[in-house]
Amino acid sequence: MNELLEAMTPRLPSREPIDAIRGYVTPRVQELDRALASAIPKPMYAKNRLKLEGVVTRLAAELDAARELVDLLDGAAWARPVRVELGELLRGAAKREGRSDPPGTRMVEVTVARTEAAEALVAPRVVMGLAAIGAAWVAALRTDASPHIRVRDGSGVSGLDISFEARSGDVMTLAVPPLLEPTLPCAEAAATLSGAKLSYMEAPPSFSLEWR
């Protein structure tokens, strides 16, 4: 992971996402090393084995989630953009058949507005990753409603807005990642690398991407 982070650093707008990922990953790797070192001299009775398995399972899921953020940055730094229709891209992201998700992923019900076609020159996997982060972030701020995703296009600007705005649309289930300390710094950097402007607010909850 360190080599990949260093390779992409020159392309990033700042070192903030790199430092945030390292600040998250390093203590967890150290905790894993300590747990394994402590377990080696002990008999592997059921109690000791279950304790070790619990620690390893938790840390593996947390490190896998961090790896997903590294992959998001890597895709934003190196992927070649293509012109896609944003609404269709979102609908494709919501299809679950035969798809496995990383540990820690949860499912969030969203509505996607039925709008006119909105095209943008983007890296599709990066947009899907950012949309999933946005849905997770907005959903975490309220538990009594489902996030609404609206795609917009006009005057040379394409956008994707996630909020609790009450509008009709297609009900879909989106796989979203856990929110970690490095999530928003990484999302901001990935958006910048993808030529998008990212903005978000807690009150009222909203998460928006805009391409010009």
Higher pLDDT, 79 or 184: 184
Query: Percentage of the chain with pLDDT > 90?
Result: 57
Contact of 135 with 174, CB cutoff 8 Å: yes
Domain 1-212 is of which CATH architecture?
Answer: 2-Layer Sandwich (3.30)
> Which pLDDT score is estimated for 96?
57
Q: Comparing C-alpha atoms, which of 123, 132, 112 is closest to residue 187? A: 132
| The pLDDT of residue 133 is above 90 | yes
pLDDT for residue 181: 96
Q: Which CA distances in Å does 68 have to 73, 91, 92, 170? A: 9, 21, 19, 27
Question: Does 54 or 156 have the greater pLDDT score?
Answer: 54
Question: Does residue 98 have a pLDDT over 80?
Answer: no
CB of 65 within 8 A of CB of 177? Answer: yes
- What integer pLDDT is reported at residue 91 of this predicted model? 82
In this predicted model, what pLDDT tens digit does every residue of 146-189 receive, in sequence order? 999 999 887 778 999 999 987 778 888 999 999 999 999 999 99
User: Is the whole-model pTM more than 0.85?
Assistant: yes
pLDDT digits (tens, 9 = 90+) for 195-212: 999 999 999 999 999 998
Q: Where are the domains of the chain?
A: 1-212
Helical axes 46-78 vs 16-39, angle rounded to 10°: 160
What confidence tier does 3 reach under pLDDT thresholds 50, 70, 90? confident
